[in-house]
Structure 1
Amino acid sequence: MDKSQLIILDLMSTVEFAALKHRDQRRKDQHGTPYINHPIGVAMNVINIGKVYDVATIQAALLHDTVEDTATTKQELVDKFGEHVANIVMDVTDDKSLSKVERKRLQIEHASHISAEAKIVKMSDKLYNLTDMVSNAPPSWSLEIIQGYFVWGKQVCHQLRNVNKGLEEALDKLFQSKFNYQGKEYPVVPCQNQQEELEFLEKYYSLLK
């Protein structure tokens, strides 16, 4: 096989692995979308919005939830995809032994310290989830929870800047947009400044406890 054929094989093997790992999972959206749609969509954001064609970064995007949300281990990723891909995945993996609020706080704290490849994956992930939230929010979520999720996402993304202009611009545009909730339009981020965002964030955390 030539190099391009090997790349295609690597990517298809990664899709197959991710699909197998997520085979019994569904998204929390209104349609119960098959979970595998999400990592594929994140990888597409890496390519289409980020204009990143690095194979390891695309593979990590496809695999980014395997350790966090399935029984997959880091060593399994190392054995199948190599140390570099596994390290990118681990950079964007939450510790599920912690509370939901603590995990969200740590995402903000750790975001600026992860690798450039991991920042691209995380921005692509946030772009996918937040875009999905505009039109397809979980039906059980209140207005405050949805807006809190956006404010939290904005705080995470602020720590990921200066890595990829395309993804940053797409996220900036999203944070200035509106969404429909029970027949009315609301701003995704209902705050005028950073202080208001931090106060809203604490309110959001209190709703998650």
Structure 2
Amino acid sequence: MLRTFSAADDWPPGLDEAVAFAVRWHAGQTRPAGEPYVEHLKEATAFLAYGAEVADPALLHAAVLHDVVEDTACTTAEVRDTFGDEVATLVDWVTKGDDRDAYLARLRTAPVDALLVKLADRASNVQRLDTHPRPEKQRTYYAETVRSIVPLSTVHPWFADWYGTWRREFAHLA
């Protein structure tokens, strides 16, 4: 059975500043189903902390902040000034630019820590993919995840198992 995480899961300790920073930048944003965007950040962080059992503060901070440069007016420099080089570098690795294909190709050369943040991010996005309001988006996102993200999950046994289960449970979207 697929292990999922939700906004009901607690934030790991020590992330108050990152959470406040992300909440401020993502204020008013919602996900496709209408829930507050911060719920996605909490889910991604929970995947990393409670699923993969990652305790590294830089990785957990990057999980909270992973979309702040991509989806808001925040810059990598602002992340660096507030949270340091390591967190900013991880956020930069998982920040998608204008060319989605180039971004996905670039991930194949990403350091393991950046891949862990990306795997947690995508796991949050796909754990309820079949509830996305647009069926065509469900199918294309499933295909992209299987093609470009699932192969990256081999960097961590928990994510490899999780994505294997997810792929089987969501195969109806293929």
* Cα distance in 2, alignment partners of residues 154 and 133 from structure 1: 13
Alignment partner, residue 113 of structure 1? 109
2:131 aligned with 1:155: no
TM-score after normalising by structure 1: 0.73
**Pairing 1:51–2:53 present:** yes
1:24 lines up with 2:28 in the alignment: yes
Find the counterpart in structure 2 of residue 183 from structure 1: none
Match of 1:133 in 2: 129
Could you tell me whether the CA contact under 8 Å between 2:29 and 2:36 is conserved in 1?
A: yes
Deviation (angstroms), 1:130? 0.5
Query: Hey, which bits of structure 1, 4+ residues long, moved more than 2 A?
Result: none
Q: 1:147–1:75: structure 2 CA closer, same or farther, 3 Å change rule?
A: same
138, 146, 167: which one aligns with 1:146: 138
Identity %: 28
What is the CA-CA distance between 1:166 and the residue it aligns to? 0.5
Residues 39-70 of structure 1: CA distance to partner in whole angstroms, max 9, x if unpaired? 11100000111111101000000000000000
Please tell me whether Structure 1 or Structure 2 has the larger radius of gyration of its CA atoms. 1
CA distance in 2, matches of 1:34, 1:161: 27
- Contact 2:18 2:65 (C-alpha < 8 Å) held by counterparts: yes
Separation of aligned partners in 2, 1:152 and 1:48: 25
CA spacing shift, 1:172–1:153, aligned 2, 3 Å: same
Contact kept? 2:153, 2:163, Cα under 8 Å = no
Query: Partner letter of residue 130 of structure 1?
Result: V
Q: 1:27·1:35 contact (CA, 8 Å) conserved in 2?
A: yes
**Relative contact order (C-alpha < 8 Å, sep 6+): which is higher?**
2
The equivalent residue for 1:80 is: 82
* 8 A Cα contact 2:25 2:68, kept in partner: yes
1:126-149: per-residue Cα shift (whole Å, max 9, x none)? Answer: 111011213x21x2x13x331121
SS at match of 1:51: coil
**CA–CA separation in structure 1 for the residues paired with 2:126 and 2:86:** 27
Deviations 1:147-186 (A, max 9, x none): 12101011222441332110121111111114xxxxxxx7
Tell me which amino acid in the other structure corresponds to 1:94: K
Give the secondary-structure state (helix, strand or coil) at the position aligned to 2:27: coil
CA RMSD for the aligned pairs? Answer: 1.6
Task: State the 1:8 CA deviation.
Answer: 4.4
> How many equivalent residue pairs?
163
